[in-house]
Amino acid sequence: MKIGVTGHPGVGKTTLVLRVVERVPLKCGGMITREIRKIGRRVGFSVHDILTGEEGVLAHIHLGRGPKLGRYRINLKDLDEIGAAAIERALAECELVVVDEVGPMELHSERFVRAVERALESDKHLLVTVHRASNHHLAYRIRHEVDRFYRLSASKRDRITEEIIGLLARLAR
């Protein structure tokens, strides 16, 4: 089962992913991104390996080098060595591969793109969030090749979360 989720920033895509990982009876691995906040302001994004707990910086306003996207610089080293590596590890060791998220920052890494493409083509279950406005070929593939694709909104977030948990829990039996 391949499941894709999109929605506006802040609608709860990462929260949905975390709830699914907590509750489905499948061995989960992959990557999650989170905001880095200082004194109430977003200053960057972190990347987390679900399986190992390893954490790094995906992008930050104070990085000295790396591709620039808006006010952030992207840390390709952590994106590759933590984020893409987490997806590759999940493909080898887990039942459910999680990718949060396929967005403009992550798409700067060829290793990340290849890892997500392999996840789409594998026989593993996949839960992937995708930036709502990306025109990248990988975002297009996700929107059109997954078994279920959800557009998340605040009013539907809890219902969609429960539906995805139910779908994946049935597959674990």
Domain boundaries, the chain: 2-34+85-172
Helices (H), the chain: 13-23, 76-78, 85-93, 110-121, 137-145, 157-172
**Residue 9, pLDDT score:** 87
pLDDT tens-digit map of 109-165: 999 999 999 999 999 999 999 999 888 999 999 999 999 999 999 999 999 999 999
State the amino acid at position 30 in one-letter form: G
**Residue 105, pLDDT score:** 95
For tokens 């992959």, the residue is 30
| Radius of gyration, CA atoms only, the chain | 15
DSSP assigned state of 104: T
Give the span between the Cα atoms of 50 and 99, in whole angstroms: 10
When the pLDDT of each residue in the chain is averaged and rounded to a whole number, the result is: 96
pLDDT tens-digit map of 38-65: 999 999 999 999 999 999 999 999 999 9
**Residue 82, pLDDT score:** 98
**How far apart, in Å, are the Cα atoms of 146 and each of 60, 116, 130, 150?**
31, 12, 12, 10
Give the span between the Cα atoms of 114 and 70, in whole angstroms: 24
| CATH number of 2-34+85-172, picked from 3.40.640.10, 3.40.50.300, 1.10.1740.10, 3.90.1150.10 | 3.40.50.300
> Mean per-residue pLDDT for 1-28?
95
Predicted model pTM: 0.96
